[in-house]
Amino acid sequence: MGNMKLNLKIWRQKGPKDTGAMKTYPVNDVSEDMSFLEMLDVLNDNLVRKNEEPIAFDHDCREGICGSCSLFINGEPHGPGRGITTCQLHMRKFKDGDTIHVEPWRSAAFPVIKDLAVDRSAFDRIQAAGGFISVNTNGNLVDGNALPIPKVDADTAFDAATCIGCGACVATCPNGSAMLFVSAKVSQLSLLPQGRPEAKERVLNMVEQMDKEGFGNCSNTGACEVECPKGISLEHIARMNREYMVAGVTKK
Ligand code: SF4
Ligand code: FES
């Protein structure tokens, strides 16, 4: 387990209105067993000791669940490696002496708050527009097992539900499209009988909110599927498009 010296080029931006710029930071004593976020913790510790402003970046669970750790590393959302988030990226993916570029998500719909932290509340508003089901919570609930669901549907819905709302799909898309995220949220519910009563309203409202937030259109580059840490499939976009078309022509 050798120690590595790295040359970090990190986006610094004081606030939403600041133009921002890349700044260079050497960092020593990086263990290959550290996660990328732990390496940034070391750098921030050094900056604080020197009375310099630490680098702002989002993180929470640090185990690939919450979707907070949104960093664009060497031109890739969540950095090198597939099926992992930034917090699951280990420094052994890099070599001693490497220069590493670290930027925030770049999308008009995700404005920078500070340094590497962006505002992803657009996703929350899309979710609030329809990413739910209305259920009876008065205690007279039907047992979940009384409603048989084909295994293939349950599995596909579960796959869609693994989306953690990180926004890597938007960050990597040349159009800044949020179709992979929205389609995962639509599929997760529309595949299950509990999600069908509100299915039309849901897809129309969520797509309308997505457009209002300023995300771009999908042009089928497929970059989102490649970079998604949860392997969300483009098939969900196809399903959402079908749901949207049917809802549009059959709504009352
Ligand atoms: S679809 Fe994938 S990349 Fe997009 S928000 Fe969900 S988990 Fe992140
Ligand atoms: S900090 Fe939660 S997914 Fe990375």
Atom of ligand 2 nearest to the CA of 69: 4
Q: How far apart are CA 206 and CA 244, in angstroms?
A: 10
How much is the pLDDT for 203?
A: 98
Ligand number nearest CA of 64 is 2
Q: What CA–CA distances, in Å, run from 216 to 53, 99, 145, 213?
A: 34, 31, 40, 9
Q: Which mutation among 68, 121, 180 tests ligand 1's pocket best, with the greatest number of atoms within 8 A of CB?
A: 180
Give the distance (Å) from ligand 2 centre to CA of residue 198: 31
Q: Which fold has domain 3-114?
A: Ubiquitin-like (UB roll) (3.10.20)
DSSP one-letter string for 110-153: S-EEETTEE--HHHHHHHHTT-S-----SS-PPPGGGS---HHH
Q: How far apart are CA 56 and CA 71, in angstroms?
A: 11
Atom of ligand 1 nearest to the CA of 184: 1
Ligand number nearest CA of 89 is 2
How much is the pLDDT for 2?
A: 56
Q: Which fold has domain 121-250?
A: Fumarate Reductase Iron-sulfur Protein; Chain B, domain 2 (1.10.1060)
How much is the pLDDT for 142?
A: 79
pLDDT at 251 over 80: no
Is residue 138 very low, low, confident or very high in pLDDT (cuts 50, 70, 90)? confident
pLDDT above 90 as % of the chain? 91
For ligand 1, atom 1, the nearest C-alpha belongs to 181
pLDDT in tens, 189-232: 999 999 999 999 999 999 999 999 999 999 999 999 999 999 99
How much is the pLDDT for 145?
A: 84
pLDDT in tens, 96-126: 999 999 999 999 999 999 999 999 999 999 9
The domain spans of the chain are 3-114, 121-250
Is residue 180 very low, low, confident or very high in pLDDT (cuts 50, 70, 90)? very high
Q: How far apart are CA 204 and CA 212, in angstroms?
A: 12
pLDDT at 144 over 80: no
Of 26-35, 143-152, 197-206, least confident by mean pLDDT is 143-152
Whether the CB of 178 sits within 6 Å of ligand 1: no
